[in-house]
Amino acid sequence: MLKNITMNGIHMQEDSSLTILDVARKHGIDIPTLCFLKKDDCNFVHRPASCRVCIVEVKGRRNLSPACATYIEEGMEILTNSYKVRQERKNIVELLLSNHPNACLTCRKSGDCELQALSAKLGVSNNLEFAGPLSQENKEYRFGAILRNPSKCILCNRCTAFCEEIQGIGAISATQRGFATVISEGHKCVNCGQCIQVCPTGALMQYEDAPDIEKELTDPETFCIVQTAPAVRVSIGEGFGMEPGTDVTGKIITALRYMGFDRVFDTNFSADLTIMEEAHELVDRLQAGGKLPMITSCCPGWIKYLETHHPDMLDLPSSCKSPQEMFSSIARSWYAEKYGIDPKKMVVVSLMPCTAKKKEITREQNQVDGVQQTDYSMTVKEFIAMVKRYGLDIRNLPEGTFDSPLGESTGAADIFAQTGGVMEAAIRTAGVWLDGDAPWNINWESGYEDGIKEATVKVGGKELSICIASGLKNASKVIERIRSGEKQYHFIEIMACPGGCLNGGGQPVAKYGKYAETMLARRKGVQSIDRNKSARISCDSSAVQKLYEEFLVEPGSEIAHKLLHTSYSDESDII
């Protein structure tokens, strides 16, 4: 129903389902927010009205009203930026700062902190009227790949809401009362990092491996190699003012060389290798009556979620390691032997879109002969900061090329970056093996925004029921459909982060109101890379073919299982 309102003296007619904030932003009127968060890429809206920064004047009301949670009514007269409103907003922010460390110069969130930006916008000075002692010690605590500093928390509860409503985990929550209230340490946390992505301050940050990596690069005794994940090449440019989806692969390679890496390789190589092993496993399960549905195992956040929340389903995931871990195992074995490199002096670094990868590298199940295969995993955000410390600008760097042979790949590897990409890549190769041609068009029955898609595809003369899901709450829905017998799928892909690796916890945070637009641009970027490659099916990779001829023998071989496959464990009792 349409309502007539006046905002800042201008008559408007808008739907009653809209809040004052919705109407203001629709008409280009700026109302600052802090606790409010809207992410249109996964239909998430958080309006707790707890920070009160968005207060406005409504004629006839004694108290100022929070714009984010006040719905418009017939005849409303609203002032969004009056003197009274501006002064109260300033007081509110000063109250927040009275219980905040205010050590912006040494905070890693500086320059990207919403509280810092809002303080500057409202003209908050260093003469804080309400200054007092902190309720929490200014100290970082680590759990998994995440760092928590309670003293920088403004209790907006964005993190708890996203973890509960979108991821369906509820790993963190508010504890204690009043001035002592604090967000708890992660309980059954899967290290997806989505809480970091929505935190407006430096209260939640990723653990950083970059300082140790930089030290390794100065050691003349080490042989440092790096692998770059499919999703990073269309997002790194954003850290240098480039449009989302811009392919900066060649420039990333050059930056890594300038930093001092001895070899620059591509995780896409092992993404193709993953498909060889995973497609082989799928075909084997289909033909030999193995356990179905088979579920992809590339995402460590998803695997950790399965181990802690659905341990009765641990016989469903593929036994394949992730591309990150497959790459490292091949680098330390075949590549080291082939090129005469002592694997004990080799330092393997990965450049990933994901915080869960930091935890994955420490899994005992991924070790080979008791040796951790990947030494360090850094995120896109870490890499962007590292590039800037080295005085480099991605925009101005020349195009480089990956080293051979662990830098060669097909287009199927590039689409690993987006939700549904692993599924499509595996179906392409399975189709070639069984039918002599890849099924290129999968007709999904649900829209991308739903988070769950289903389709039927013909492979090897059999109609396969397939499904993809992104976001762990959606993953749980799929699991329950399987458990109840509602659905009989053959093959499922699951990614922990909504939208897949393009929206990973280590990726640059999209600007407000640009989440869906940014994800779409990144998705189009990887799809374009795939389309423009001469080889687009993993089994057509000459580098992977050579690896099997010289070393692995065939997919599923004994040596392949030792190096490229893993196992899972029931961690449902973890606290």
pLDDT tens per residue across span 144-170? 899 999 999 999 999 999 999 999 999
- Provide the pLDDT for residue 310: 96
Q: Which percentage of the chain shows pLDDT scores above 70?
A: 99
Angle between helices 267-288 and 421-435 (to 10 degrees): 60
CA dist 550 and 304 (Å) reads 34
- Provide the pLDDT for residue 447: 53
The torsion angle over the Cα atoms of residues 33, 39, 40 and 45, rounded to 10 degrees, is -70
- Provide the pLDDT for residue 507: 97
Residue 317, token pair as written in the block: 């995931």
Secondary structure string (H, E, C) spanning 480-497: HHHHHCCCCCCEEEEECC
CA dist 14 and 6 (Å) reads 10
CA dist 273 and 324 (Å) reads 11
Confidence of residue 177 (pLDDT cuts 50, 70, 90): confident
Are the C-beta atoms of residues 71 and 151 closer than 8 Å to each other? Answer: no
- Provide the pLDDT for residue 130: 73
| C-beta atoms surrounding 426 within 10 Å | 29
| C-beta atoms surrounding 553 within 10 Å | 12
Nearest Cα residue to 488 out of 291, 254, 274: 291
Convert the pLDDT of each residue in 469-508 to its tens digit: 999 999 999 999 999 999 999 999 999 999 999 999 999 9
**Residue 324: exposed, middle, or buried by beta-carbon count in 10 A (0-12, 13-18, 19+)?**
buried
My answer on whether omega of the bond before 220 falls inside 30° of 0, hence cis, is no
Q: Which percentage of the chain shows pLDDT scores above 90?
A: 87
Question: What is the biggest distance separating any 2 CA atoms in the chain, rounded to whole angstroms?
Answer: 81
Convert the pLDDT of each residue in 90-119 to its tens digit: 999 999 999 999 889 999 999 999 999 999
Q: Which residues does 504 contact at the CB level (< 8 Å), separation at least 6?
A: 193, 231, 352, 353, 354, 355, 379, 380, 497
E runs forming strands in 16-121: 37-39, 44-46, 55-58, 65-66, 77-79
My answer on whether omega of the bond before 293 falls inside 30° of 0, hence cis, is yes
284 has pLDDT over 60: yes
554 has pLDDT over 90: yes
Residue 405, token pair as written in the block: 């042979």
- Provide the pLDDT for residue 446: 61
Residue 129, token pair as written in the block: 């009227």
545 sits in which H/E element: helix 542-547
Convert the pLDDT of each residue in 62-89 to its tens digit: 999 999 999 999 999 999 999 999 999 9
Confidence of residue 386 (pLDDT cuts 50, 70, 90): very high
CA dist 303 and 495 (Å) reads 9
Convert the pLDDT of each residue in 225-248 to its tens digit: 999 999 999 999 999 999 999 999
CA dist 23 and 16 (Å) reads 10
- Provide the pLDDT for residue 523: 96
CA dist 151 and 174 (Å) reads 14
401 has pLDDT over 90: yes
Confidence of residue 202 (pLDDT cuts 50, 70, 90): very high
CA dist 75 and 475 (Å) reads 45
Q: Which residues does 142 contact at the CB level (< 8 Å), separation at least 6?
A: 148, 207
Q: CA angle 26-245-427, nearest 5°?
A: 115
**Residue 234: exposed, middle, or buried by beta-carbon count in 10 A (0-12, 13-18, 19+)?**
buried
Strand partners, 11: 6
Secondary structure string (H, E, C) spanning 151-206: HHCCCCCHHHHHHHHCCCCCCCCEECCHHHCEECCCCCCCCCCHHHHHCCCCCEEE
Residue 227, token pair as written in the block: 């692998």
- Provide the pLDDT for residue 522: 97
| C-beta atoms surrounding 280 within 10 Å | 22
Instruction: Tell me the pLDDT of the chain averaged across its residues.
Output: 94
Are the C-beta atoms of residues 451 and 42 closer than 8 Å to each other? Answer: yes
122 has pLDDT over 90: yes
Confidence of residue 572 (pLDDT cuts 50, 70, 90): confident
**What's the one-letter identity of residue 38?**
K
Q: Which residues does 500 contact at the CB level (< 8 Å), separation at least 6?
A: 231, 417, 418, 419, 420, 421, 470
